[in-house]
Amino acid sequence: MQVGISFVILLCAGGLAACTHGESGLKVVNIRTDFAKTNYGYVNSGGYRAGSLFSWDKAASRLVFRDNVPGFETDISSIPPTDSRITYQSGMTADASISLAVKARIDTVLKSDATIAIKDARRLTVSGVITRITNYMKTNGDLFEEWNFRESASNSDRYFLIVRDVTYGDSLDVEVNNEKSAGAGFPIKIGDASFQVKFTGKGLGNLSGNDIPITMNVYVLKAKFIENAEGGQNPTFGVVNDIDLKDLPELFRSVGSTS
């Protein structure tokens, strides 16, 4: 299931190439925000649930989906739904050739004026993450090898990501200055340049259902060993907080949805 959002930017500014023209006669640039970063985490374009596990080779810029760890399932019906507005932070990508300067200006406008409205949002945060993962490993001995745990523990550039915070909702809309997206888009002006911003994708009232996963947050984990009472070593994980995550939107896009 894909729940990605696309921003289509119609520009009459310079610095564009390989663009088409929309009904307004302005140049069209498609900007995807699948797995873009928001203040509620990443747009969950893969439909991942709490417990989805990835291995991350930071040096090689490679992300691999590994497993859906059991024990994260929670009945969210007891969480009161509330209409929520979340803000775009980073991670968009353009599918046409535009200058870095124009892309930066568009990004600035989206950060300041665009919001994502989630109807009947229910945000689930799971605790005891490390205990749940290590218990799963203990009962499934093959995972130690399948996840390349020992190699990850000894390599400073290898990490794991675990989805531990998911926001569910019944529909999703993109808004600019608190107005819902419409077919004609929104006029904006940056300096002397006029823009027509149009939003397309499943996130424009077309995405509907009951409790669809819309955003997700992740823990970054480092594999390690701790000494046990018998003098041996037990595999476990530590949470990594001080790490650059700017590449995650593109890496999530390279994975797509769960297999």
Q: What is the pLDDT of residues 113-164, one digit of tens each?
A: 888 888 899 999 899 999 999 999 999 989 999 999 999 999 999 999 999 9
Contact 44, 130 (CB under 8 A): no
pLDDT band at 104 (very low <50, low <70, confident <90, very high): confident
State mean pLDDT over 17-32: 56
- Domain-wise residue ranges, the chain: 5-255
Of residues 128 and 172, more confidence is placed in: 128
Asked if 34 and 43 count as a contact pair (C-beta separation under 8 A), the reply is yes
Ranked by mean pLDDT, the top range of 12-26, 28-42, 118-132 is 118-132
C-alpha to C-alpha distances, 248 to 46, 75, 183, nearest whole angstrom: 13, 28, 31
CB-based contact 7:188 (threshold 8 Å): no
Distance (Å, rounded) from C-alpha 79 to C-alpha 41?
19
**For range 33-59, the mean pLDDT:** 90
pLDDT at 90 over 70: yes
Is the distance from CB of 251 to CB of 61 less than 8 angstroms?
yes
Compute the distance between CA of residue 205 and CA of residue 59 in angstroms, rounded to an integer.
39
- Averaged over 42-55, what is the pLDDT? 91
Residues 8-32: what's their mean pLDDT? Answer: 51
Q: What is the DSSP letter of 47?
A: -
Helices and strands counted in the chain (H then E): 5, 18
Of 74, 22, 68, nearest in space to 48 by CA: 68
pLDDT (mean) for 8-33: 52
Give the span between the Cα atoms of 184 and 181, in whole angstroms.
Answer: 8
Is there a contact between 207 and 81 (Cβ–Cβ < 8 Å)?
Answer: no
Q: What is the pTM of this model?
A: 0.82
**pLDDT at residue 14, as a whole number:** 42
**Would you state the pLDDT for residue 9?**
44
What's the mean pLDDT in 70-94?
86
What values do phi and psi take at 172, rounded to 5? -145, 130
